[in-house]
Structure formats: structure tokens, C-alpha cells
Homo-oligomer: A and B are copies of this chain.
Amino acid sequence: ALAAPAVVTTPPEVHWRLQSSFPAQIDTIRGGTEAIVRTVGVLTGGRFQIEIGEPGDFVPAEETFDAVQAGKLQAQQTCSYYYIDRDPAFAFGSSMPFGLNARMQNAWIGEGGGQHLLDSFYDHYDMVSFVAGNTGVQMGGWFRKEIRSLPEIAGLKMRIAGLGGTVLERLGVQTQAMRIETTYAALERGTIDAAEWGGPSEDEKLGFYRVAPYYYYPGWWDGGPAIHLLVNKTAFEALPESFKLALKASAAQSSQTMLARYDVRNNQAIRSLLDKGVQLRPFPTDLMQAAYKASFELYDELAASHPHFKTIYGPWKAFRDQIYQSFRVAEYAFDSFGFAQQAKGL
């Protein structure tokens, strides 16, 4: 028999369009997207080019998901919990109230079985998902007046979306979706009483502190929200192996960089906000306890009514409970002791 001749294949030229859910002003996330695109370009000798669009650039913002599913766009950068109205299971990939912090989220998705569960779920949408960033624990938002106990939030009007909003509604808050561009004016006029967006560095730029000075923590609904690349599966599968790996490696690199950048910027911003007179407050304990109880009741209900949610929730909850226990040992003891000593000026 004849040996097969060596075949030298030249990689194809590939051009993708990626529409982001985030405008360029959200520059920590945008910086991550640009880094991925730049790195992929260099790693593939310029053969794999990804064009970035802002919300609405390629397709209307609300059609982005469908466009990626249909292959009209190849990719989207987003926080998957924006799509919980399609299926609440979209929350797992980004963040669940009282769920995983950033490091645990990476552990669950990367090595704890999460990626496999997400892959099976995204198969229903002809997509694959890759972690491409994380913001760390966010803040609980801006309130026009101080909230000293759970009963004081009853009737409050708050801009908040997602499962955290559903939980707050069960505690008596009137939540509403609202574009971030109109939120400042609504807070200023008192049309709404509170609004949440992200962490200190982005919150500072939005300027809400000027009209709603009470800044609550923690954002228990955003313990470590991952930013994802959602990619059309057919487009991804058509890539040569080296292009696939270039996308994955640059997404992982960008993910690590984004979290580090948020940590450094939030550190600076929280200082700056305090200098501006912002009143930093922990959520009252009774509010936290009621929200915790309402969250897990909600999960039980969602698992009963949504099969994809149920499939992921079981192993997710087991992982969450176990890693909480193991982090309580060395990780938490290290942080707790050091933080307490440093706070004493030692």
C-alpha cells in the first residue's frame, strides 16, 4: 500500500461578527472583548478576524440572541442571565442569588462539571458558551433613603432585573426594568427609590451617588457573575482546531484579566466614593435572611416547572453547598484573620 502523501493545509480566512450586550462605556468588559479579538488575530496570523459590534450595530439589541442561534451572527458577548425569560436555566452560567463567588464559579464551570451541563443546555440553542470574564461580587445598589430593616423596603420602587428582582418582589419591592440611560433621571425625580447596576468602578461613573447616597452591599444576587461568549455552534465546529484553541485560550486569558482589573478599579472607586460622601451600608440582616429563604424557595419552584433548570440545579446546589464548606476552612480563615488584623491597624 502507498503511504498517504503529506498534505499541507493552509488555514482558512475566517471573519466573524460579535455583537456585545455592553456599550463601549462599560470599558472593563469592552477591554476584555477587544483583548480576545486582538489575541485571536495575532495567534492565527491574522486569518481569524472578529469584528466587534455595540448593541444594535449588526442587529437590534433584542434580536442578538436569535441572530447568534440562527447563525446570522457568529457570537455574542453577554451575561447569560439576561435570557432568563426564555429559560431560567440561563442564570446558572452567570450568577444565581446566594450562589457562587467568582472563584467558585470558575471552579464549577471549569472543573466541577458545570461546562458539561451548560454545553448540554446550550445544545438546545445550537450554541456553545465560554467564560470570558467575571466582575466579582457586585454592590447592592443605590437607595435614596436609608433602609434599616426588612419592613422598610416594602413598596419601594427599584430598578433591578433578573432573579434578584424576582426575589425582591417577594419581599414587597416593586421592581422594574429600565434602561440604564434613563435611570439617573428617574432616581433624581423620585420616580424610583433605588437602582442597582454593578460594582463601585462602574457605579461611580453612572453618578447615582449624587441623587441616592445610600450604597448597600453585598449584591447577594451577583456573587460572581461570569461574562460569556455565546457562539453559534455550527460556526464554532467549522473552525480549525488551532482557531478553536485560540478563541478558548484568549477567552480564559481575558477572563483572568477582567476580574483582576475589576478588583483593582473597584478598590480605587470605593475609596473615591467614600471621599465624595457616599454612605456605605450593609443590607440589614433580616432582609438578607428573608432574601436567602425566598431565593431557595424560588429555585425549588423553578425546578418543579422548568426541566432544564431542574437538570442543572441539582448538581449545582450540591457543588455550592460542598464548596462553601471547604472554603470555610483555609480560605475563609485566612481572609478573616488577616482582614481583622489589618482593620485594627496591625
Say yes or no: is A321 at the interface (Cβ < 8 Å to chain B).
Answer: yes
Which of the listed residues A139, A199, A329 has the most CB atoms from chain B within 10 Å of its own CB? A329
Indicate how many identical chains form the complex: 2
Contact B106 A256 (CB under 8 A): yes
Contact of A323 among B217, B267, B321 (CB under 8 A): B267
Contact B43 A270 (CB under 8 A): no
Contact A199 B42 (CB under 8 A): no
Which of the listed residues A249, A259, A263, A341 has the most CB atoms from chain B within 10 Å of its own CB? A249
Residues of B within 8 A of A322 (CB): 267, 271
For the complex, what is the distance from the CA of A140 to the CA of B331, rounded to whole Å? Answer: 12
Residues of B within 8 A of A260 (CB): 106-107, 109-112
Contact B220 A334 (CB under 8 A): yes
Contact B263 A107 (CB under 8 A): yes
For the residues of A in contact with B, the DSSP-based class is helix
Number of interface residues of A (CB under 8 A): 79
The contact string, 1 if C-beta is below 8 Å from chain B, for chain A 94-120, is 000010011110110111100000000
For the complex, what is the distance from the CA of A164 to the CA of B246, rounded to whole Å? Answer: 39
Q: Contacts A259-B106, A263-B103, A331-B136: A337 and B43 contacting too (C-beta < 8 A)?
A: no
Residues of B within 8 A of A288 (CB): 337
When C-beta atoms are compared, the residue in chain B nearest to A326 turns out to be B267
Contacts A/B (CB < 8 Å), 5 sampled: A109-B260, A112-B264, A199-B330, A255-B256, A321-B342
User: Would you list the 3 A-B pairs with minimal beta carbon distance, nearest first?
Assistant: A252-B253, A110-B260, A107-B263
